[in-house]
Amino acid sequence: MASSSLALISTSTLISQGAEAKVYKAQLTSDQSEPPILLKHRFRKGYRHPTLDSSLTRARVAGEARALLKCSRSGVNVPGVRMVDSVEGVLGIEWIDGQSVRRLLPGGVEEEDDQSEDSEPEVVDLLKEYSISVDILMRLIGQEIAKMHLADVIHGDLTTSNMILRHPSSFKPRASALPTELVLIDFGLSYHSGLVEDKAVDLYVLERAFSSTHPDSEPLFETVLDAYEQHMGKAWAVISKRLEDVRLRGRKRSMVG
């Protein structure tokens, strides 16, 4: 008898397949007016020893769910957890309507879709739909990352593809004056750490992602760091110093041999 999470997958639509998992859009109940959920299925890898594969899958699904819960308890905007089946490798999270930050910034669209030339005006239009400026978007990014780091969660794979700006139509404002919010997604590589080093590396990874996907984005990243600094308060001084070190060191050091 197949498990119930696999049965759920069989009724849902495949959206994409990454290296790790297949992503589906699913309906948890038969009530179609209910919001959909997103299913992330870490399917079995045929090349891996079965024992190794199942223990890795279990640890990764549970780890991702744990990081998401820790974030939402600490007020970081992340998708809510809807279901966890670590044995089958299925994680169900809240479906978020919106657009990835990568596609909202210049340079991100053509990389992803092979559309060329006319991506610039489109970007401006896209942001208008969310009625915020690029500057505010950058501040939101800095703020969310700071909240996450204050909770001692390290994302591990911060890129502009892993941030979604929620569409105003599906946003229920609580205290915010903005019509939208920034949501961090994909905690598949995240871990718990309070070390300054890990936080600095997390920021460095984002910096690299910015410069490789979005040309001439240095001033944008400055704004991100500025908002991060404001939110981190006293913790910023040491992280800033370490970030300079990490930049000098580079992640890709020279190898001998």
Partner 1 sequence: MPGRVRKVPLKNPDRPYLALGLEGSANKFGAGVIKHFEDGATSVLSNVRHTYITPPGEGFQPRDTALHHREWALKIIKECLVKAEVSMHDLDCICYTKGPGMGGPLQSVALVARTLSLLFDKPLVGVNHCVGHIEMGREITGAQNPIVLYVSGGNTQVIAYSRQCYRIFGETLDIAIGNCLDRFARVIDLSNDPAPGYNIEQEAKKGKRLVPLPYTTKGMDVSFSGILTSIEAYTLDKRFRSDGLPRNPNDEDIITPADLCYSLQETIYAMLVEITERAMAHIGSKEVLIVGGVGSNERLQEMMGIMAHERGGKVFATDERFCIDNGIMIAHAGLLSFRMGFETPLSKSTCTQRFRTDEVYVSWRA
Q: How far is the CB of 156 from partner 1 (least distance, A)?
A: 7
Residues 6 or more apart in contact with residue 247 via CB below 8 angstroms: 204, 207
Binding-site member from 7, 14, 15, 52 for partner 1 (CB under 8 A):
52
Distance CA 67, CA 154 (A): 9
Q: How far is the CB of 225 from partner 1 (least distance, A)?
A: 21
Query: Is 31 one of the binding residues for partner 1 (CB under 8 A)?
Result: no
E strand or H helix that includes residue 94: strand 90-94
Q: How far is the CB of 195 from partner 1 (least distance, A)?
A: 14
CA-to-CA separations, 22 to 6, 132, 199, in angstroms, rounded: 12, 32, 29
Query: Is 197 one of the binding residues for partner 1 (CB under 8 A)?
Result: no
Question: Two tokens at 250?
Answer: 């580079």
Query: Is 46 one of the binding residues for partner 1 (CB under 8 A)?
Result: yes
Query: Is 249 one of the binding residues for partner 1 (CB under 8 A)?
Result: no
Task: Name the catalytic one among 113, 118, 152, 157.
Answer: 157
Query: Is 51 one of the binding residues for partner 1 (CB under 8 A)?
Result: yes
Question: Two tokens at 51?
Answer: 């024992």
Q: Which residue from 15, 37, 16, 18 is spatially nearest to 28, judged by alpha carbons?
A: 37
Instruction: For the beta carbon of residue 152, count every other beta carbon within 10 angstroms.
Output: 15
Q: Which of residues 153-182 bind partner 1 (CB under 8 A)?
A: 156-157
Q: How far is the CB of 257 from partner 1 (least distance, A)?
A: 2
Annotation says 202 is catalytic: no
Q: Which is nearer to partner 1, 48 or 192 (CB)?
A: 48
Q: Report CA 219 to chain centroid distance, whole Å.
A: 22
Task: Give the torsion sign (CA, 148, 189, 210, 247).
Answer: positive
Q: Which stretch binds partner 1 (CB under 8 A): 13-21, 72-80, 96-104, 235-243?
A: 13-21
Catalytic residues: 157
Binding site for partner 1 (CB under 8 A): 17-20, 45-49, 51-52, 55-56, 114, 116, 156-157, 189, 205, 251-252, 254-257
